[in-house]
Amino acid sequence: MIDLSFPILLAIAATFFVAGIVKGVTGMGLPTMAMGVLGALLSPLAAAGLLIVPSFLTNVWQLLAGPAFGPLVRRLWLMMLAICAGTILGMTWLTSGGTRATTPALGAALVTYAGYSLLARRIRVPLHWEPWLSPLIGAVTGVVTGGTGVFVIPAVPYLQALSLPRDDLVQALGLSFTVSTVALAAGLGVHGAFELQGLALSVLAVGPALAGMWTGQALRGLISAAAFRRLFLVCLLLLGAEMSLRPFV
């Protein structure tokens, strides 16, 4: 049961609005930031439930807006299937209520993602590696998604390493995020953790998320997206470090 006090509801709305701005400016980051902030206020399970509807709608938009839906599905379908299987498996940790394990795991995922993105190391995956590496990356991404509600590790660095054209990369990220969101919802349902209250709040969170995306798209032409993204990643790195160390403080 989620605390429905006004400060919590305000924090949820503000979190999705800011996360929407991040997605509008950078094209990604809504679920990562939402889970990072809400994970400090709610249980990881409750935070994951709130993420479902706003994440799904924004990612479907990103997926359908690209130019290469068919070719990307044919190229990445094994990875997508592995994401689904890994997510169902990883949900065991998220639904167990053991936040002493899931909270630092979420923090570690945030630190890993932010650190990798800040270093911007260029990695290229040879084409002949994809048939066996894509399912492996998908399975690991699924387990991380199921255990923490964050579905960027290691899928985002891997997709960036495929040397896709910019528009294809954005669409591939949308495909991965959409599949991960659906798998997360299915995992919550399979484990009996999809509460009607959380679903209703998730629907209400769509408004702030879309308003944030609109704001972020408007800001994109006024500020440097690269500078904004670096600031966001530094904040994410600090937040992840705090969550990783929380059980030891």
pLDDT tens-digit series, residues 112-162: 878 887 876 667 889 899 999 999 999 999 988 887 777 788 898 899 889
Q: Specify the number of domains making up the chain.
A: 1
More confident residue, 177 or 37: 177
* Whether 246 contacts 104, CB under 8 Å: yes
pLDDT value, residue 150: 76
1 assigned to some structural domain: no
Domain that holds residue 231: 6-248
Give the angle subtended at the CA of 28 by the CAs of 34 and 238, to the nearest 5°: 55
Structural domain contains residue 178: yes
* Integer Cα distance of 57 and 122 in angstroms: 30
Nearest of 84, 103, 101 to residue 181 by alpha carbon: 84
Q: How far apart are CA 229 and CA 246, in angstroms?
A: 25
Domain assignment of residue 184, yes or no: yes
Say yes or no to pLDDT of 97 above 70: no
Other C-beta atoms lying within 10 Å of the C-beta of residue 197: 12
53 falls within a domain: yes
Question: Taking the model in full, what pTM does it have?
Answer: 0.77
Residue 171 lies in a domain: yes
Residue 81 inside a domain? The answer is yes
Going by C-alpha positions, the residue among 108, 103, 79, 84 that lies closest to residue 93 is: 103
pLDDT tens readout for residues 53-72? 888 888 888 888 778 899 99
